[in-house]
Structure 1
Amino acid sequence: MKNKISGKIVALLLTLIIVATSGMPLYAKETGDKANSFRYENGQSIAKAVPFSTLSPNAWKKIDGKYYSGDGSVIEGAVAKGIDVSHHQGTVDWKKAKEDGVEFAIIRCGFGMNQTKQDDAQWFNNVKGCEENNIPYGVYLYSYADTVKKAQSEAEHVLRLIKGHTLAYPVYYDIEEKAVLNKLTAEQLGKIAATFVNKVKAEGYQTGIYSNKSNFETFLTDSQFSQWNKWVAQYNSPSCTYKGTYQIWQAADTGTIDGVNGAVDIDFAMKTISSSDNNPGTSTEKPATSATKPTTTAAKNNTRPAPVKLRIPTIKVKSSAKKKAQIIWNLKGNGVKYQVYYSTKKNKGYKKAATINSSKGKATVKKLKSKKKYYFKVRCSKTVKGHTYYSAYSKIKSIKIK
């Protein structure tokens, strides 16, 4: 028996020596991730290298303050170049990555529901590397949620891992799993995303949604998606052609960066963005970069205001007079305000008509076009210690104007 045990110990030591001398990363391997999407097949990346001859010498570089796309054209509005990483990249040398022009990072913290075996194997190494090298970062979680309950657990998964860290970029909910997209309706996907977003936002973090351009246009079309930050993937294109608002463009999945083994995704933060956490389509903000203050809601010493829970309003709409519509809601609360939005299209183009104090419970939208159908939605907001919190939007109601 003693000889057998000794033999096993020797074999284990030999294995460790082989791993160490071969340069293979030594870390615990996550289990159960079988992602299938536009990027993965059974959990493995399906990125295809772009022929070198088709790329400009300036591809994905920053030169004289300007950022260049794969074909050598200037990326209008880009203010920072970043990468997103996971266990697929192994151990990253973040000092070298920063020296090679990486100005921010989006780090995968894991996938699916709140189980430690589903934490990304390189999560802690990547966070440590960014923090030690003063690289601002955000995070993402790959979602498998096909129910609201699973989305709640996925939010808890992220919150467990980011506790104690100050993020400069949002927490992104990665919705790209084919089985989920093909199974659920746009409304169901909207409810699942809202569950995740609201739970994470309640703890004081910025949030956003990640997917590719096609998914945003085909599956993630519920009206709720218009209110959230977006990180849009679109490869082999000189620019991002997504028509909605977005904050980060994932421009390539076959980039090369010093300090990173193999291919890595290249991202660009954009200068002027629609801030859906304020007024969709009108207000702007800059993403956090090495030259700008991180836009995190975390206070000093990593403390946050107490979470504010806001109920989703229920609304009624009626055409009260010619070229007018009256919107009535059911909720009232101390310090709560109500933002009223309208559009001539159900799933896009919403404009804010008014912000109303809670005591009124109704609003009138004027100067509408007669005999035309309009759509309306309302959400609550409340400001606590300088931080404004929002509910999800109400169900959309429509009416034909007199």
Structure 2
Amino acid sequence: MHGIDVARYQGDIDWKVAARSGVAFAWIKATEGGDHLDKKFYDNWYGAKEAGVPRGAYHFYYFCRTPEEQAAWFIANVPYDPDALPMVLDMEWNNHSKTCTRIPKPDVVRKEMVTFLEIMEGYYGKRPVIYTDYNFHTDNLEGVFNGHHFWLRSIPRHPSERFPGRRWTFWQYTAQGNVDGIKGHVDRNTFVGSWEDWKKFLKGDF
């Protein structure tokens, strides 16, 4: 089970071609902080659905906005669709941000995450997936949020090596993938289970 994650950087995507090439699922960037909407979100959101590609939206967390503001912004921009994958909360340190240099302590990070995640689950009716990388996970997430599915960035080593003890569901294994229907490179991801497990995940039973 291999999929992709996309944002405006991929430009115009031919989703029907991508689907025929074997893309089994897609995570689509929707929002960031409390005032940014990816300019290709709606094209990708509706294009993927029309092509029959299961897709979910993700939010890139910004540490200089409250979780309530960010949740409201996501809800204002991402349509409620019971057929969509659970939304994803993307948690990474953004050391290159020119507008936010705040680095909260772990207990504050986790408290803000709980607030955001509870709002998302309450509105969309599905428990969100948490995306993270090695540094952020080491600093803030070891041993917590075990009731959530995790999507881990682990390039090029397997998640079991870099995230020992962490139960994971999705693995982002390269940023240099190539997929028919997309010009240039795209992130590639895999689902941890079998086809039967995937069907269970879509129903919320995995």
TM-score by length of 1: 0.45
- Cα deviation, residue 168, structure 1: 3.8
Q: Distance in 1 between matches of 2:134 and 2:203?
A: 25
Aligned: 1:246 with 2:146: no
Structure with greater Cα Rg: 1
Q: Distance in 2 between matches of 1:186 and 1:178?
A: 15
Alignment correspondent of 2:149: 229
Q: Distance in 1 between matches of 2:176 and 2:101?
A: 25
SS for the counterpart of 2:114 is helix
Please, which runs of 5 or more residues in structure 1 have no aligned partner?
Answer: 1-79, 273-284, 298-402
Aligned with 2:121 (options 189, 197, 201):
201
Aligned: 1:268 with 2:194: no
- Cα deviation, residue 250, structure 1: 0.5
Change (3 A) 1:94 1:83: same
Aligned: 1:174 with 2:174: no
- Which ranges of 4 or more aligned residues in structure 1 deviate by more than 4 Å? 179-182
Aligned with 2:41 (options 117, 123, 131):
123
Alignment correspondent of 1:139: 57
Alignment correspondent of 1:255: 177
- Cα deviation, residue 95, structure 1: 0.8
Pairing of 1:331-370 with structure 2 (within 5 A): none
Q: Distance in 2 between matches of 1:198 and 1:181?
A: 26
- Cα deviation, residue 186, structure 1: 0.9
CA deviations on 1:216-270 (whole Å, 9 max, x unpaired) are: 123333x543332211001122x32222011100010110111111110000011
Pairing of 1:11-22 with structure 2 (within 5 A): none
CA RMSD of aligned residues (A): 2.3
Contact 1:108–1:140 (CA under 8 A) maintained in structure 2: yes
Contact 1:146–1:192 (CA under 8 A) maintained in structure 2: no
Aligned: 1:286 with 2:197: yes
| Higher share in helix | 2
For residue 139 of structure 1, what is the amino acid of its counterpart?
Answer: A
For residue 91 of structure 2, what is the amino acid of its counterpart?
Answer: I
CA deviations on 1:34-57 (whole Å, 9 max, x unpaired) are: xxxxxxxxxxxxxxxxxxxxxxxx
Change (3 A) 1:167 1:195: farther
Alignment correspondent of 1:215: 136
For residue 84 of structure 1, what is the amino acid of its counterpart?
Answer: D
Amino-acid identity (%): 24
- Cα deviation, residue 130, structure 1: 1.1
- Cα deviation, residue 175, structure 1: 1.1
CA deviations on 1:151-190 (whole Å, 9 max, x unpaired) are: 1111122222232423442211111133579721111110
Change (3 A) 1:181 1:97: farther
TM-score by length of 2: 0.85
Contact 2:8–2:38 (CA under 8 A) maintained in structure 1: yes
